[in-house]
Structure 1
């Protein structure tokens, strides 16, 4: 029913988390971003921004032609609306879940991603950049920690907001964050880690790839050397 174009990144994990939780049949197509699979013409028809994840739904609820969806947040929302799962139905609950979904898309993901880049991948270590993104990542952890002080999950019930945020916390050590400093966040993180669907999703990732996406100059150029001239 669902084709998932995927690699073993936080954004990729978001979608396997949902599909495993919802028990939706899916076919997984690995897109090795370190080898340039994301630039193949067939993939670009589905994901014009040459980024994973992307899906094709072969059984949309309107009964029409297959629907491609790119951008992880949009995919989570699409799947939640399709299945009527993992998104509160009340006006206030839905609004809260969506706010935190967009918080992750616009804040936690990009800031933690820059943290990863300057801390791990950048060949030139720039202290200002490292400090900037480590501190901002910590601030965002603090925001989520405070929010979780009076609730089990981000929107009270487990939702796409949790699925969006969790994979970006998995790399907390690489982001130079100590979860002991964020007790509510740590409790939430450990609870999600123990969910059977979470285990299945990450076990599937281990079967597909255990190597870093950036392993040599060629992969570095593919991932970090793109500009407007490469869009064809």
Structure 2
């Protein structure tokens, strides 16, 4: 291939934003020549690289938009360190059937058992599957909803969160929740119920939720 033709093809790929093709067309051309590939097979390999590049870009964008506090995977989780966590059940969740079925997941337990790690890991899996995901602490979410209720933008805020395929709410109970905040949270959960999925983490068991989490005033923190 002449230098002039090469420059022309590269300029056309740049203009069309075919970054995958641009990065790999030379090696694919060489491979096609060595293996006597047909034109169709050659084009198939080029489009395969382009699609791969675009998919990687889409996943990266979704992970950035999800606002994870860190990047952790299930493969990095040490199940031997937390024998109370059933590995098979967690691995089964990674199939994301619960997202497809619009089901919710709740991780309960004391600080340090890995609830946030697991929720982030499942969130990243969902991003890789092209789902819309957002991670947010319960405290920040409640602050956003309360502020929106005061400035008249509550409906827009609720609709924004209700359209996500997966909403991860971390650390419910880290700070006490006022009655007004509880009502706003209930409204959001109701809008998402059986329509989209939620992963929620809390340091408290269900029998502690009424008095310990949903109460006025004060502040409380956990290590």
TM-score by length of 1: 0.29
TM-score by length of 2: 0.30
Higher relative CO (Cα under 8 Å, sequence separation at least 6) belongs to 1
